[in-house]
Amino acid sequence: MKKISKRNKKNIKIFIKKKIYKIKDGIKILKKFVPTKFTESVDLACQLSINSKKSEQNIRNTVILPHGTGKKITIAVFTSPENQKKALKIGADFSGMESILDIIKKKKKKIDYVLATPDAMQFIKNLGLILGPKGFMPNKKDGTITDNLKNTIQELRKGKIKCRNDKYGIIHSTFGKINFSTTQLYENLLFLLQHIKNSKPPQLKGFYFKKISLSTTMSPSIIVNHISL
């Protein structure tokens, strides 16, 4: 069992008085928690009633949050040699072919997003076993294979995030920083939840949302009421 820190024991004892909170109240509780020495991210864990073993029920798309994520991101681009300098000029942090693969395999640098231009597909098409488990395999559905690299990079810098469920049917996502205002976090979260709601597989019947929890990077979770969604 994971040991609970003294800070979080204090957070739980002083601030968590209910089992379930209204969404905005839950955000307010997170902002009251004893702070850490760094600016924590604010995270969503949204459990859905999907069957992740059925491909047609998996959620795989992206969303641009109204107020961004507040996170500085690192973007790598698989692209042909003639386009590598162009990719760096328009905002990529790394570009290349084998060099990008080497960074990912050896974890030389922290990378948040991996993009690919169509001319790189011949190179990366057989890299699923390497890139897939890390969530880095580019695909057209979430826009990470693109011939409009400039626009895609700009959207990522503005706060475009992946919206994907894991094998347990849970979507984990960051929707801001703890130094955002309550209103900014609330608007980001509602926008994200509405996007998830709109992505409900058409063949799925009954309740869609099972459980929604909010937390910061180092805090305990707050369960929020999802019935209104």
Give the residues across from 176 on adjacent strands: 42
One domain for residues 89 and 64: no
Distance CA 60, CA 4 (A): 33
Domain count, the chain: 2
3 — pLDDT class (breaks 50, 70, 90): confident
pLDDT tens-place string over residues 119-129:
999 999 989 89
One domain for residues 88 and 148: yes
Instruction: Judge whether 2 lies within some domain.
Output: no
Domain containing 42 equals: 17-68+161-224
- For residue 19, pLDDT over 60 is answered with yes
pLDDT tens-place string over residues 47-77:
999 999 999 999 988 899 999 999 889 999 9
One domain for residues 137 and 83: yes
pLDDT tens-place string over residues 164-218:
999 999 999 999 999 999 999 999 999 999 999 999 999 898 889 999 999 999 9
The answer to whether 109 and 101 have CB atoms below 8 angstroms apart is no
One domain for residues 63 and 176: yes
Instruction: Answer with the residue of higher pLDDT: 106 or 46.
Output: 46
Amino acid residing at 188 = N
Instruction: Judge whether 41 lies within some domain.
Output: yes
